[in-house]
Amino acid sequence: THVVTDNCRGCRYTDCVASCPVACFHVNEVRVYIDPAVCIDCSACIPACPVHAIFEEFDLADDQQHWIRINAEAAQRYPVIRTRLAPLDGADARRQQLGL
Ligand code: F3S
């Protein structure tokens, strides 16, 4: 499955959602999560994210492994999102802060 990690926080660009051929993304106030039961591992979202927040689970660094469980649990809790939203205020500032 694919996993949304640290960098998706306070920007919510949702280009990932627009790239997704299934409805695997779920959204809250600050970020998105991927439902591992729905993701078809197409990888379209990886290059779509301006802050490089999404990884294939086997490519996750050791300190990012916890995001596998967090995505699975949060996807049950938050509503599905099927279309792109306007990024959050401050998204571009945050992106610059990350050096991206
Ligand atoms: Fe988050 Fe990147 Fe999507 S910032 S909402 S994972 S495009």
| pLDDT digits (tens), the chain, 100 positions | 999 999 999 999 999 999 999 999 999 999 999 999 999 999 999 999 999 999 999 999 999 999 999 999 999 999 999 999 999 999 999 999 999 9
Tokens 């996993």 identify what position?
3
| Nearest atom of ligand 1 to the alpha carbon of 15 | 7
30, amino acid identity:
V
Backbone φ and ψ for 56, nearest 5 degrees, come out as: -70, 140
Ligand 1 and 4: CB distance under 6 A: yes
SS3 81: coil
Structural domains present in the chain: 2-86 (3.30.70.20)
Interface ipTM: 0.86
CA dist., res. 99 & res. 66, Å (int): 24
Q: Count CB atoms within 10 A of the CB of residue 10.
A: 18
Q: What is the DSSP string of 10-25?
A: S----HHHHH-SS--E
pLDDT of 4 reads: 98
